[in-house]
Homo-oligomer: A and B are copies of this chain.
Amino acid sequence: MVLHINIDKIRTVVIEEVIEESPSVKTIVFNDRLSSNAKPAQFLMVWIPRKEELPMSVMISNKKDHAAITIRKHGFGSTSLFEKKQNDLIGIRGPYGNYFNVSKSLKNPILIGGGTGLVPLMRLSTVLSKMQRRCTIIMGAQTQKEILFKVILEEILSKISTNIIVTTEDGSYGVKGVVTDALKYILKKEKFDMIYTCGPELMMKSIYNLSIPYSIPIQASLERYMKCGIGICASCCINDKLVCKDGTVFNESQLSELSEFGKVFRDKSGRPSYY
């Protein structure tokens, strides 16, 4: 017998653990085999009962058949989720979207993320570590307190040759500045064969622009306002693409055709706004 699981149906899960990552970021761990098998950059639609439903990247968990989400406290929806406690119930559906593609011939990738944009890179790091690939990571935060996942990341990558670069805008830790400052510097010194990135769109746009002169392939995981997550509402559209279905990951040739990348996004009502 084949088990037909409809990933679109909401699965209620119990919050088993809440991890404080920083004053404004928490990770919520739950048991869900489908999510534990998510590919890097896939996301869940997370139901916060009677409050909101929000797209959230699937975070790794070291427990078998478990996965997690990492939330930055922001507006109404994320704050409601942020306030959830152990044993509370949330709903999830997915995982959705395409994912970071890791080719067998990959030799020297660089991963660049900022804030919760690091979440997909955590799962990617796990994959790279298993594949015994050398890798470089640039992770950005505003200040030391907001640096996410550094310890786990070091652990994941402990078995492979890694270069972890941390940037803080206030210089309270690591390199002072933003991730692109560090990227500019390292691109001059080292040859990479893939850039993986997730984070604020303007950051990714700068990274994309930096990649062009070096002809380095890039995979960027985009965010857009998402209502359905399943390709029916178009609230997530960027040009003629649906970020939830055709993305979230786009490569350099796709990005070159997305005139709205780094420029236009749509709000709840579908009106275009400009970065």
Q: Which residues of B contact A1 (CB under 8 A)?
A: 2
Chain A 161-200 interface 0/1 with B at a Cβ cutoff of 8 Å (1 = within): 0000000000000000000000000000000000000000
How near does chain B come to A6, taking the closest CB pair, in angstroms? 14
Q: Which residues of B contact A2 (CB under 8 A)?
A: 1-2
Q: 2 tightest CB-CB pairs across the interface, nearest first? A: A2-B2, A1-B2
Q: Which residue of B lies closest to A1 (CB)?
A: B2
How near does chain B come to A3, taking the closest CB pair, in angstroms? 10
Chain A 1-28 interface 0/1 with B at a Cβ cutoff of 8 Å (1 = within): 1100000000000000000000000000
Count the A residues whose beta carbon is within 8 Å of the partner chain — how many?
2
How near does chain B come to A209, taking the closest CB pair, in angstroms? 46
2 contacts between A and B (CB under 8 A): A1-B2, A2-B2
Q: Which residue of B lies closest to A2 (CB)?
A: B2
- Complex Cα spacing A1 to B1, Å: 9
How near does chain B come to A5, taking the closest CB pair, in angstroms? 14
- Complex Cα spacing A64 to B219, Å: 55
- Complex Cα spacing A1 to B2, Å: 8
- Complex Cα spacing A2 to B2, Å: 7
Residues 178 to 228 of chain A near chain B (Cβ within 8 Å): none
How near does chain B come to A271, taking the closest CB pair, in angstroms? 44
Residues 28 to 76 of chain A near chain B (Cβ within 8 Å): none
- Complex Cα spacing A2 to B1, Å: 8
- Complex Cα spacing A1 to B3, Å: 11
- Complex Cα spacing A176 to B2, Å: 58
How near does chain B come to A2, taking the closest CB pair, in angstroms? 5
- Complex Cα spacing A84 to B1, Å: 40
How near does chain B come to A198, taking the closest CB pair, in angstroms? 35
